[in-house]
Amino acid sequence: MGKLTLTDINKYFKTVHAVKDVSFDVEEGEFISLLGPSGCGKTTTLRMVAGFEEVSSGVIHLADREITYDQPFQRNTGMVFQNYALFPHMTVEQNIAFGLRMRKADPARIPDRVGRALDLIQLPGYEQRMPHELSGGQQQRIALARALAIEPAVLLLDEPLSNLDAKLREDMRIEIKQIQKKVGITSVFVTHDQEEALILSDRILVMHEGRIVESGTPLDIYSHPTSAFAASFIGHSNVMQGTMSELDTEQLVVTTEGGLVVRGPKNPQLSIGDQVLVFVRQERMSIHTGAPDGSSTQNLIPAEVLIHTFVGPTIEYICRAGGHELRIRRPNEGHIPRVSAGQHVHISWEPSDCIVIRQ
Ligand code: ADP
Ligand code: MG
C-alpha cells in the first residue's frame, strides 16, 4: 500500500524555520501538488520525505511503516529533480539501473526492468545513449524512468518541468499525468506554477511561509479559496477592500473603500462591520459598451476604459470604477467589441463570483 502520511513536520535550518507544523496524507494512487511561491518550503518538505534532509520534528509514514529516520535508499521513494540530475558519465541504461543496483535487485532482471521503464516514457531503444546526447525533455523523461524503475511506493517530483521551454512543458505535463494514471502511483508534485498544479492534481496543498494554508481539489481551490493568500496567488483577481454593510438570507453587501456597493454570496461566518477583501476573477467580469443589460440581481457598475489590450486568445481591459482600477479578461470569440480609452462602459458580474474573505 502506497499511502504517505506526514504528521507535524518541522524543519529548522539554524534560525530559519523553513517548514512549520506540516501534516498531510496522500492516499494510495492519489496525485497531490504542493503549490506556493519560491522559498515557502516545498523542496525542503519533499527532501524530508525522500530522506535527503532530516526532520527537526515530526513523523513520516509510508505504506504503513515509519520511515522518518531511514536512509534514502531504504525508503521506497522515487524522486525527480528540477535539474534532472542524471549521472553524466553513465549511459541511460546505467542511470535507470542505478537505483535497482543500490537496492540489490536481481541483476538478471535489470535489463528487462530498464526496457520496461523506457517503454513507459516512450523512449525505447535509448539504453546506450549518454545524457549529453539527449534533449532537455528527453533527459527529464529518463529521470522519470529512473525514479519509476525501482517501483517506488511514492513518486516525488520537484518542479520537474521548470527547465523546459513553454511548449514542451505543456506536452510533458500531459505525459506525466498519463504515466501517473497508467502506473497508478501515489505522487507528490512540487511547483510554483498554478497552471501545472491545477491541470495535474487530484488535490492541491497551498503553501505559504512554511505552512499549508489551504487544501482542496483544483476546482475548490480556484473557485472557493478560503484564505486571502490562495485567492490572490492562484488565478488573476481584482481585489477590493471594504466593510460588510448588509447581510440577508441570500446575499451580503460590501461597501468598498473605492465607494462601490458590491453584492456577494451569503456567508454565515461574516457579520456587519467586518473588514473584508472581495476578490473577483478577471475572467468573471463582463464589459458592456451599450445600454446596460444586466439583471437586477447582478453587480452592475459604471466604469471608464483606461487601457485595452489584444492578447490573442483574450482581450484585456483596465477600467476605472469608483476608486478602483479593475482588470477584465474576456475570451476572444471572434467578435471584438470596439472600445477606446476614455469610453464609458458598464461592468457586471454575478454575486456568486465574489470571494469575500475577512481581513
Ligand atoms: P521552495 O522549494 O518552496 O522554494 P525551499 O524548501 O527550498 O523552498 O526553502 C525554504 C526555506 O528554507 C527558504 O527560506 C530557504 O532559504 C531555506 N533553506 C532551504 N535549504 C536550506 C539549507 N540547506 N540551508 C539553509 N536554509 C535553507
Ligand atoms: Mg524548491
- Can you give the pLDDT at residue 212? 98
Q: What is the pTM of this model?
A: 0.91
User: In terms of C-beta density within 10 A (0-12 exposed, 13-18 middle, 19 or more buried), how is residue 143 classed?
Assistant: buried
Q: Could you tell me whether strands 203-208 and 57-62 are parallel, antiparallel, or unpaired per DSSP bridges?
A: unpaired
Q: What is the CA radius of gyration of the chain?
A: 25
Ligand 1 in contact with 41 (CB < 6 A)? yes
Using most ligand atoms within 8 A of CB, pick from 14, 16, 19, 194 the residue to mutate for ligand 1.
16
Single out the residue of 68, 43, 46, 44 nearest to residue 57, CA to CA: 68
Task: Ligand 1, residue 44: give the atom nearest the CA.
Answer: 6
- Can you give the pLDDT at residue 144? 94
Residue 334 CA to residue 267 CA, distance in Å, equals 38
- Can you give the pLDDT at residue 83? 86
Ligand 2 center to residue 191 CA distance, Å? 8
331: β partners: 314
Ligand 1 in contact with 38 (CB < 6 A)? yes
Helices (H) and strands (E) in the chain, counts: 8, 20
Q: Are 161 and 175 in contact (CB under 8 A)?
A: no
Task: Ligand 1, residue 45: give the atom nearest the CA.
Answer: 6
- Can you give the pLDDT at residue 211? 98
Q: Which residues of the chain have pLDDT under 70?
A: 1, 294-295
Ligand 1 in contact with 39 (CB < 6 A)? yes
Residue 266 CA to residue 253 CA, distance in Å, equals 9
**In this structure, what C-alpha cell is assigned to residue 104?**
540489490
Task: Ligand 1, residue 159: give the atom nearest the CA.
Answer: 2
Ligand 1 in contact with 40 (CB < 6 A)? yes
Nearest CA to ligand 1 atom 7: 43
Q: 157 φ, ψ to 5°? A: -125, 115
Write the CB contacts of 3 (distance below 8 Å, at least 6 apart in sequence): 25, 26, 27, 28, 61, 62, 63, 64, 186
| DSSP-assigned letter for residue 184 | T
Q: Are 189 and 32 in contact (CB under 8 A)?
A: yes
- Can you give the pLDDT at residue 84? 83
CA-to-CA separations, 211 to 9, 42, 227, in angstroms, rounded: 10, 10, 13
Ligand 2 center to residue 43 CA distance, Å? 4
Which ligand does the CA of 16 lie closest to?
1
